[in-house]
């Protein structure tokens, strides 16, 4: 089986969230019993952030390779997703909530029990089933994200400072740019050699039509955090009967947009460290585990250029890498290349539902392992 062969790559890795073939195929996950959680306990909230691949991109219907229906009914994968009659199972102990900023408003795309519905799935299915099985408390998978956003710009966390980036342009001329810090705009501007990083940004940032651009470094971070807090402020609206909650973990799958900006790719590790610390501070969760996934198309063997810089940054923050002692036992990087069934992040992995299931299961299992520690 192709998935089993791909999984063997994982077994040779050190410092990563290792997955066994049986757990990857979720053979150890029973079908949910459809019973509600004990609502006397606080809801364990797991916040999912990133860009478009955190959204629902895996195709559900059809008998073509990569469709979830074929994977479950023909290939007999993910048996916990269906009951004896072949209907999709429902977890009454895991709430699936998805919100997204649209203009000046927060739109709610999901607010239901964890199940398969609609035409697409995302990583929340695998994440939610692992957490629902492992925890006695009620669980909420709260996704607050939107597509085409970079960590080095749109999702830049508070406290990030301007810095100089020096490079050689296509004409062979050495050039210096000031890269935006939090709340700055635009994303970078020419540096005055005499002032360096102190070079102020342009007085105005206009589009091609001469209209002001109302965006800044960290704008999407601010929106996503504000929306997650809106949900938590009305917890019973999103988890019926809930009165208490605890932000118990963070899950991050991102990096595609930063691939197209050398400065952002080079600074990915630094920005990722800042993000982990900022999220824990935002939600008063200093010990909450943080799990992230690498980009599926990037393998250890082809990690070059900007992709390689992002990959190296993602690997470095894993608590077992030793580079950040404070992250030991509470930050885990999941190497998703063996879990990906082809395609790349910029094409949403060709909509292959098995990629989204496998990566979700990997992220969920890694989170459970950190929680047990």
Which of these three, 192, 216, 240, is where a domain ends? 216
| Confidence at residue 21, expressed as pLDDT on a 0 to 100 scale | 38
Task: Report DSSP state, residue 288.
Answer: -
Tell me: the pLDDT tens digits for 273-329? 999 999 999 999 999 999 999 999 999 999 999 999 999 999 999 999 999 999 999
Q: Which two tokens stand for residue 307?
A: 């992709």
Tell me, yes or no, whether 300 and 228 share the same domain: yes
Tell me, yes or no, whether 179 and 284 share the same domain: no
Q: Predicted confidence band at 172 (pLDDT cuts at 50, 70, 90)?
A: confident
Tell me, yes or no, whether 190 and 144 share the same domain: no
Tell me, yes or no, whether 332 and 197 share the same domain: no
Q: How far apart are CA 41 and CA 341, in angstroms?
A: 38
In this model, does residue 25 exceed pLDDT 50? no
Tell me, yes or no, whether 249 and 307 share the same domain: yes
Give me the number of domains the chain comprises.
2
The alpha carbon torsion through 161, 163, 169, 175 (nearest 10 deg) reads: 140
Tell me, yes or no, whether 202 and 344 share the same domain: no
Tell me, yes or no, whether 129 and 30 share the same domain: yes
Q: Provide mean pLDDT across the span 146-159.
A: 98
Domain region containing 252: 2-156+219-372
Q: Report the CATH number at residue 94.
A: 3.40.50.1110
Q: Predicted confidence band at 19 (pLDDT cuts at 50, 70, 90)?
A: very low
Distances (CA, A) of 141 to 18, 63, 150: 22, 29, 22
Which H or E element spans position 144? strand 139-144
Tell me: the pLDDT tens digits for 26-40? 557 999 998 999 999
Q: How far apart are CA 264 and CA 273, in angstroms?
A: 14
In this model, does residue 5 exceed pLDDT 50? no
- Write the DSSP assignment of 213-262 as a string of letters: P---TTHHHHHHHHHHHHHHHTHHHHSTT---EEEEEEEEE--TGGGG-H
Percent of the chain with pLDDT over 90: 89
Tell me, yes or no, whether 90 and 125 share the same domain: yes
């Amino acid at each position: 089986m192709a998935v089993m062969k791909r999984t063997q790559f994982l077994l040779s890795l050190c410092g990563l969230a290792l997955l066994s073939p049986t757990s990857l195929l979720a053979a150890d996950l029973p079908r949910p019993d459809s019973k509600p959680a004990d609502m006397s306990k606080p809801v364990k909230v797991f916040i999912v952030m990133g860009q478009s691949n955190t959204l629902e991109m895996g195709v559900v219907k059809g008998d073509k390779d990569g469709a979830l229906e074929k994977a479950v009914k023909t290939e007999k994968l993910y048996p916990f997703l269906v009951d004896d009659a072949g209907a999709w199972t429902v977890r009454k102990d895991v709430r699936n909530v998805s919100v997204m900023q649209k203009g000046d408003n927060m739109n709610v795309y999901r607010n239901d029990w964890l199940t398969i519905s609609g035409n697409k799935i995302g990583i929340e299915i695998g994440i939610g089933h692992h957490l629902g099985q492992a925890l006695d408390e009620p669980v909420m998978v709260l996704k607050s994200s939107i597509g085409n956003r970079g960590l080095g710009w749109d999702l830049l966390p508070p406290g990030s400072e301007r810095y100089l980036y020096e490079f050689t342009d296509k004409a062979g001329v050495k050039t210096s740019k000031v890269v935006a810090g939090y709340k700055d705009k635009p994303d970078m501007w020419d540096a005055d050699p005499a002032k360096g990083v102190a070079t102020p940004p342009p007085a105005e940032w206009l589009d091609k039509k001469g209209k002001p651009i109302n965006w800044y470094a960290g704008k999407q971070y601010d929106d996503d955090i504000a929306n997650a807090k809106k949900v938590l402020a009305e917890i019973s609206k999103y988890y019926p009967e809930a009165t208490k909650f605890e932000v118990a973990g963070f899950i991050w799958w991102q990096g595609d947009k930063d691939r197209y900006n050398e400065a952002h790719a080079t600074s990915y590790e630094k920005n990722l460290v800042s993000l982990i610390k900022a999220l824990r501070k935002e939600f008063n969760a200093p010990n909450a585990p943080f799990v992230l996934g690498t980009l599926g198309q990037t393998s250890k063997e082809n990690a070059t250029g900007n992709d390689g810089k992002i990959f190296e940054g993602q690997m470095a923050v894993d608590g077992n890498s030793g580079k950040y002692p404070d992250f030991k036992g509470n930050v885990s990087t999941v190497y998703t290349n063996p879990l990906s069934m082809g395609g790349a992040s910029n094409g949403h992995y060709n909509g292959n539902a098995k990629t989204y299931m496998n990566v979700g299961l990997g992220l969920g299992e890694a989170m459970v392992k950190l929680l047990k520690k």
